[in-house]
Structure 1
């Protein structure tokens, strides 16, 4: 995905319109396409150095990080937190909580 011109174009278009961009495990795809510069992000721990060394991102060690339209997460172990964070952004806290309870995630 990091080498795909189509993915880069889609991500930049989403960013231009301030529409949600969600990346789990490897936000290095965002970096490859210059998306989310200046934003708070997290990633799989092995990618921390790559994401923070360029100075384009503010790296956080949180499981899920939301910065305006950009949602990033660390990996498979944080996937439920990530999914419900995305759900909250798309709906609201009440709906996300209702779904979380029905799926036994709360």
Structure 2
């Protein structure tokens, strides 16, 4: 499909909220094959909290085809977004192909290494944590993943495994899959802004307790 043609799939544009109430900044790295819900829901939740979120396309600013053929329009290319760093949190969505692309990216490795060295928050969901393994990030941490990514994540015994829907160990925050995307986003908000703000964001979402 040519980019100047109207895509035949759903296109979602993620545009930052007009006010950065919290002065916190997040970088969501979007790769081809990313899981849509794990990208959009945490981004939405963080923006509701006033966090300034940049959705950065791994290979550029063109629309990214996700795992279920939804196209998401990044705010910036990763190359340009890196110049605006550092960020308070770096977020890695899942999706098998998306996680593989994150795992194979030298730019992602550099960003994660820098984030880890400055003790910044790193958040990954579903298969996304396997990119942490690939780049040697957070060794020794307790993590969770999608059940189908568990064996890959535990290869080499660099982590301890949790069955929790969201797991936070130091500056590494992980979660399990599409169905935990709201909890994942709220955990990021709570870590950066506190429990009270997270509860205020959660209340109008009508989530099941």
Flag whether TM exceeds 0.5 (same fold).
Answer: yes
Deviation at 1:102, TM superposition (A): 2.2
- How far apart are the structure 1 equivalents of 2:154 and 2:133? 10
Residue 123 (structure 2) pairs with residue 22 (structure 1) = yes
Residue 183 (structure 2) pairs with residue 66 (structure 1) = no
Greater share of strand residues, 1 or 2? 2
* Higher RCO structure, 1 or 2 (CA under 8 Å, sep 6+): 1
In the alignment of these two chains, the number of paired residues is: 106
Q: TM-score, normalised by structure 1?
A: 0.96
Q: Deviations over 1:69-98 (max 9, x none)?
A: 110001001111111001101101001101
User: Which of 50, 60, 80 is the equivalent residue of 2:152?
Assistant: 50
- Residue in 1 that maps onto 2:142: 40
- How far apart are the structure 1 equivalents of 2:172 and 2:155? 19
Q: TM-score, normalised by structure 2?
A: 0.49
Residue 102 (structure 2) pairs with residue 11 (structure 1) = no
- How far apart are the structure 1 equivalents of 2:155 and 2:137? 16
Unaligned runs of 5+ in 1: none
Q: Which runs of 4+ in 1 moved over 3 A?
A: none
> Which moved further from structure 2: 51-60 or 21-30?
51-60
Unaligned runs of 5+ in 2: 1-101
